[in-house]
């Protein structure tokens, strides 16, 4: 087996070369598009490892040019769903986010075989913005979505509330051949059981009391496109049987009608519940579960991918500021660390709301640790654990950001004038207004204390019993 490594990073080429040679693979290397084209002519490879950003061109464009008639593994530092989509659209058989796992490289060599174009996921980038993350779980999710989006396979999306199940469903629709057709979403838990059948399949005029006109159901509305059934686990058992029949026959029947109507719909379903457990409890049909669970997709909760929080929080902050027509404040490192410590029971939905709140309410140019603590509702517990140095650092940083780093001059004097008055007042409070004791406490002579009190217009009499 032969491999071609195309990357301008010598370290990346070296480590890949070493891993591949250990697997018995013959290796050639190139550090640019031009060098890659020459190497390909001289060294027709069985697998190509291709970087996206090269000194003289773009790896995605090179991939899309169909230069290589071998499987291509794209190497990229951009770990978003958009990039995964572009990779598969251009014909990549796999993509590895940097830094990549060497075991994954070894597994690729073991299993990678040439694939014909009809099996490649050919999808284009569009609205999928909240699908952000560098964690292994999210990267695996991106790969799965990239491969199945262009198909008509039924997908069952699982995950806790707030993880973005509808977002994944919309991304699958928008990257499919059905993108120009309707995307219709319905929440089975939000509609009373007695009305859900009519919502899904429609009814004829006069079908029941109050049916004063014909209603087209969600299946017919989604004809040619995608129907997303959210919270499918809450669907009543009798309706599950009717849904199963529709999926098997591709036809619906309005309430009050005897005429089946063909529908061409891709079904995507989602739930936060444990469907196998509901099956054991006779609360969900096993045959429907298998019909829905053709491609299972699980979205991990935010607490299990905390390394994704900095990137996701910054994206949500920028997006919130843009929607509000304002400049996004800077998210400082200690504030980001506090975000990572939070458990996020509401998942991405909760993080989105917190970042929107911070975009609106942050008074300065930067979001500090105390801003985040306040937004999360546990200011005291955070600040009680601070050392004096940490508190001074936090408050001074906020002051400097409000003052404006670029415009500030004489910073030492600015900061000193902010620190000295409260320090003097606290000392006077402790010493009950006795200036001699204040001088001893602060390590200053009495005359210096008097000058400072006059400078800041502090009256010692205010602190005497």
- The model's pLDDT over 174-232, given as tens digits with 9 standing for 90+, comes to 888 898 899 999 999 888 888 899 999 999 988 887 778 888 999 999 999 999 999 99
How many angstroms separate the CA atoms of 126 and 447, rounded? 70
How large is the average pLDDT for residues 323-327?
A: 78
List, in order, residues 6 or more apart from 364 with CB less than 8 Å away.
329, 398, 401, 402
How large is the average pLDDT for residues 57-75?
A: 85
Assess whether pLDDT exceeds 80 at residue 122. no
pTM score, whole prediction: 0.60
List, in order, residues 6 or more apart from 417 with CB less than 8 Å away.
none
Q: What is the pLDDT of residue 381?
A: 46
DSSP state of 212: -
DSSP strand pairing (183-187 vs 53-54): unpaired
How many angstroms separate the CA atoms of 7 and 20, rounded? 15
How large is the average pLDDT for residues 128-154?
A: 80
- Which H/E stretch holds residue 89? helix 81-89
How large is the average pLDDT for residues 244-262?
A: 93
How large is the average pLDDT for residues 35-53?
A: 87
Let me know: does 90 contact 60? Beta carbons within 8 Å. yes
- Which H/E stretch holds residue 380? helix 379-384
Q: What is the pLDDT of residue 137?
A: 83
Assess whether pLDDT exceeds 60 at residue 153. yes
Q: What is the pLDDT of residue 409?
A: 64
pLDDT-derived band at 246, boundaries 50, 70, 90? very high
Assess whether pLDDT exceeds 80 at residue 266. yes
DSSP strand pairing (72-76 vs 47-51): parallel
Secondary structure of residue 44 in the 3-state scheme: coil
Higher pLDDT pick, 241 / 376: 241
Minimum mean pLDDT among 171-180, 285-294, 362-371: which range? 362-371
Assess whether pLDDT exceeds 80 at residue 132. no
How many angstroms separate the CA atoms of 150 and 175, rounded? 6
User: Where would I find the H helices in 117-254?
Assistant: 136-148, 165-174, 193-201, 218-221, 237-249
DSSP strand pairing (26-30 vs 72-76): unpaired
pLDDT digits (tens, 9 = 90+) for 392-434: 776 676 666 555 554 556 777 777 887 888 889 889 988 988 9
List, in order, residues 6 or more apart from 333 with CB less than 8 Å away.
none
Maximum mean pLDDT: which of 105-109, 317-321, 411-415: 317-321
DSSP state of 234: G
Q: What is the pLDDT of residue 117?
A: 32
Q: What is the pLDDT of residue 401?
A: 59
Higher pLDDT pick, 157 / 25: 157
Q: What is the pLDDT of residue 125?
A: 33
CB atoms < 10 A from the CB of 101, how many?
Answer: 12
For the record, the structure tokens of 247 come out as: 């999926």
Let me know: does 48 contact 3? Beta carbons within 8 Å. yes
How many angstroms separate the CA atoms of 53 and 235, rounded? 48
How many angstroms separate the CA atoms of 374 and 113, rounded? 53
Maximum mean pLDDT: which of 292-296, 385-389, 407-411: 292-296
Q: What is the pLDDT of residue 209?
A: 78
DSSP state of 225: S
For the record, the structure tokens of 449 come out as: 């204390």
pLDDT-derived band at 356, boundaries 50, 70, 90? confident
Let me know: does 195 contact 227? Beta carbons within 8 Å. no
Which domains does the chain carry?
A: 2-128 (3.40.50.2300), 151-300 (3.40.50.300), 303-403 (1.10.8.60), 411-463 (1.10.10.60)
Let me know: does 145 contact 297? Beta carbons within 8 Å. yes
Q: Which residues of 165-177 are buried (b: 16+ CB within 10 A; e: fewer)?
A: bbbbbbbbbbbbe
Q: What is the pLDDT of residue 98?
A: 77
């Amino acid at each position: 087996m032969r491999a071609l490594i195309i990357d301008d990073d010598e370290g990346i080429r070296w480590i890949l070369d070493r891993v591949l040679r250990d697997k018995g693979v013959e290796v050639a290397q190139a550090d640019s598009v031009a060098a890659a084209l020459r190497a390909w002519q001289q060294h027709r490879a069985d697998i190509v490892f291709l970087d996206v950003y090269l000194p003289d061109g773009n790896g995605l464009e090179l991939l899309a040019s169909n230069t290589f008639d071998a499987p291509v593994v794209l190497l990229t530092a951009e770990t978003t769903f958009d990039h995964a989509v572009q990779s598969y659209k251009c014909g990549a058989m796999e993509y590895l986010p940097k830094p990549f796992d060497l075991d994954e490289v070894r597994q690729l060599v073991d299993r990678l075989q040439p694939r014909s174009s009809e099996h490649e996921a050919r999808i284009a980038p569009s609205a999928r913005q909240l699908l952000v993350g560098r964690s292994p779980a999210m990267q695996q999710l991106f790969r799965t979505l990239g491969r199945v989006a262009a198909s008509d396979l039924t997908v069952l999306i699982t995950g806790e509330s707030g993880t973005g199940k509808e977002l994944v469903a919309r991304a699958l629709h928008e990257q499919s051949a059905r993108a120009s057709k309707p995307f219709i979403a319905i929440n089975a838990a939000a509609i009373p059981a007695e009305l859900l059948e009519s919502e899904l399949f429609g009814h004829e005029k006069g079908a029941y009391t109050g049916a004063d006109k014909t209603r087209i159901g969600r299946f017919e509305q989604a004809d040619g496109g995608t129907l997303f059934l959210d919270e499918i686990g809450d669907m009543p058992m009798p309706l599950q049987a009717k849904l199963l029949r529709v999926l098997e026959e591709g036809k619906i029947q309005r309430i009050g009608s005897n005429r089946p109507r063909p529908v061409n719909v891709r079904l995507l379903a989602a739930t936060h519940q444990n469907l196998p457990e509901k099956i054991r409890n006779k609360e969900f049909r096993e045959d429907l579960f298998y019909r829905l669970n053709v491609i299972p997709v699980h979205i991990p909760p935010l607490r299990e991918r905390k390394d994704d929080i900095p990137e996701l929080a910054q994206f949500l902050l920028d997006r919130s500021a843009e929607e509000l027509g304002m400049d996004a404040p800077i998210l400082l490192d200690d504030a980001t660390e506090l975000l990572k410590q939070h458990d996020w029971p509401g998942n991405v939905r909760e993080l989105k709301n917190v970042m929107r709140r911070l975009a609106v309410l942050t008074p300065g140019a930067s979001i500090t640790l105390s801003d985040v603590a306040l937004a999360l509702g546990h200011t005291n517990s955070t600040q009680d654990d601070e050392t004096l140095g940490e508190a001074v650092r936090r408050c001074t940083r906020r002051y400097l950001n409000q003052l404006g780093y670029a415009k500030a001059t004489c910073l030492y004097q600015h900061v000193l004038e902010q620190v000295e008055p409260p320090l003097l007042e606290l000392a006077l409070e402790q010493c009950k207004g006795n200036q001699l004791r204040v001088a001893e406490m602060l390590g200053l002579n009495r005359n210096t204390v008097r000058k400072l009190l006059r400078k800041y217009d502090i009256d010692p009499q205010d602190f005497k019993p």
